[in-house]
């Protein structure tokens, strides 16, 4: 599938669009679709449909091909993250210390499913694998801040910090 407007469509802000096209131009030499997708996600915070179309157009492949590569890797997101992007580690060390229960409690408190964002855009919730902080297990992050030694009773106070 081709997209006639992809060469001229500005995706996001003009600065984001320019950076995306620079990254594609720089990385297409190695035909590295995964690196381009990572760069795009770094620019936009997720992979909007229009970005997928532009990448497909610029790489001379179908959008379906780009989607099939992107969906193979768990690090790619197709929905915008919340202002507070919560990621609960479900790696082994965290899981055995109750991370699964913490994840389920957050889903219940925020009324969210895996990878979803609240309608007001405030919170998003994901699970991830080891964050490299196993000594603090169970662990979650909100944006760049890591919270360790969690239990379900500590969640309200942490969520309150975000209000």
Residues 6 or more apart whose CB falls under 8 angstroms from that of 102 comprise 88, 138, 140, 150, 151, 152, 155
Residue 155 C-beta: closest distance to ligand FES, Å: 16
88 is a site residue for ligand FES (CB under 6 A): no
Which residue lies nearer to ligand FES by CB, 47 or 97?
97
Q: How far is 61 from 113, CA to CA, in rounded Å?
A: 32
Residue 92 near ligand FES by CB under 6 A: yes
Residue of 131, 142, 150, 155 that binds ligand FES (CB under 6 A): 131
CB of 141 to ligand FES, least distance (A): 10
Identify the bridge partners of residue 12 per DSSP, sorted by sequence position: none
Between residue 3 and residue 42, which ones bind ligand FES under the rule CB under 6 A? none
What are 70's two structure tokens? 């992107």
Backbone angles phi, psi at 160, to 5 degrees: -65, -35
> Which of 3-11, 44-52, 76-84, 134-142 is the region at the interface with ligand FES (rule: CB under 6 A)?
134-142
Task: Let me know if 126 is exposed, middle or buried by CB neighbors in 10 A (0-12, 13-18, 19+).
Answer: buried
Of the candidates 61, 69, 130, 158, which one interacts with ligand FES according to CB under 6 A? Answer: 130
Question: Where do contacts with ligand FES occur on this chain (CB under 6 A)?
Answer: 89, 91-94, 130-134, 137, 139
């Amino acid at each position: 599938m081709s997209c006639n407007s992809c060469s001229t469509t500005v995706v996001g802000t003009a600065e984001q669009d320019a950076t995306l096209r620079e990254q594609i131009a720089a990385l297409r030499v190695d035909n590295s679709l995964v690196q381009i997708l990572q760069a795009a996600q770094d620019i936009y915070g997720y992979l909007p449909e229009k970005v997928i179309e532009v990448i497909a157009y610029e790489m001379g492949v179908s959008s379906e091909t780009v989607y099939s590569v992107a969906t193979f890797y768990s690090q790619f997101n197709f929905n915008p993250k919340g202002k507070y992007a919560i990621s609960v580690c479900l790696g082994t060390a965290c899981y055995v210390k109750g991370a699964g229960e913490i994840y389920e409690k957050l889903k219940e408190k925020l009324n969210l499913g895996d990878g979803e964002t609240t309608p007001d855009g405030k919170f998003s919730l994901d699970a991830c694998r080891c964050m490299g902080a196993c000594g603090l297990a169970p662990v979650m992050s909100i944006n760049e801040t890591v919270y360790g030694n969690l239990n379900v009773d500590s969640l309200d106070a942490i969520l309150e910090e975000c209000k």
